[in-house]
């Protein structure tokens, strides 16, 4: 089963403003006791531009008594809100930069990104194994003599 960018976009369209999203937003609100940073991180398919919409959903749920009113949400400082927005904008810029650096833009974006990450992981693993070999590689002769000696006694 191959997932394409279109599949993700289709899911996003059907998920946003759905009953499922509404339930997820309320659950995250309760789980994190109104901490918007954590709510925004945990709800699927949202970015910082969705925050006003999510805030409205939660305010409506609080007013109707569906969820409790948490101080962390109701009295969140403007500074915290702005910091979250700046952080999200910075991440978006970095993602764009990475996308450009990797030459992504078409349908194979995800595939190329995964392959480049896999190469990085393989390189890290090779480095790690080389370090282990350098550190413990000299002791292999001693180890083989011991095992040979034990075999001889039996």
Tell me whether residue 139 is in a domain: no
Same domain, 70 and 56: yes
Q: Residue 115 is inside which H or E element, if any?
A: helix 109-136
Same domain, 60 and 124: no
Average pLDDT over residues 41-58: 92
Structural domain containing residue 20: 7-102
Same domain, 97 and 110: no
Over residues 82-131, the pLDDT tens digits come to: 999 899 889 888 888 887 777 666 556 667 777 777 888 888 888 888 88
Task: Kindly tell me if the per-residue pLDDT of 154 is higher than 60.
Answer: no
Same domain, 65 and 118: no
**Helices of type H across 32-108:** 36-42, 51-63, 71-74, 78-101
Average pLDDT over residues 11-19: 93
Q: Measured on CA atoms in the order 140, 141, 144, 149, is the torsion positive or negative?
A: negative
Same domain, 75 and 58: yes
Tell me whether residue 114 is in a domain: yes
Same domain, 47 and 90: yes
| CB distance 37 to 43 below 8 Å | no
Same domain, 98 and 111: no
- Cα 125 to Cα 120: distance, rounded to the nearest angstrom: 9
Tell me whether residue 151 is in a domain: no
Same domain, 98 and 73: yes
Same domain, 90 and 122: no
Number of domains in the chain: 2
pLDDT of residue 123: 87
């Amino acid at each position: 089963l191959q997932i394409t960018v279109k599949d993700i976009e289709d899911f996003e369209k059907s998920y946003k403003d759905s009953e499922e999203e509404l339930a997820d937003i309320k659950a995250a609100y309760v789980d994190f006791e109104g901490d918007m940073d954590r709510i925004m991180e945990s709800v699927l398919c949202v970015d910082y531009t969705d925050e006003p919409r999510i805030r409205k959903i939660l305010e409506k749920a609080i007013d109707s008594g569906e969820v409790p009113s948490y101080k962390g949400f109701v009295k969140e400082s403007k500074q915290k809100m702005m910091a979250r927005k700046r952080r999200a904008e910075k991440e978006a810029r970095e993602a764009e930069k990475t996308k450009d650096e990797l030459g992504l833009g078409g349908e194979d974006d995800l595939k190329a990104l995964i392959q480049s990450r896999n190469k990085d992981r393989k390189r890290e693993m090779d480095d790690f194994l080389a370090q282990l070999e350098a550190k413990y590689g000299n002791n292999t002769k001693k180890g083989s003599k011991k095992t040979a000696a034990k075999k001889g006694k039996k």
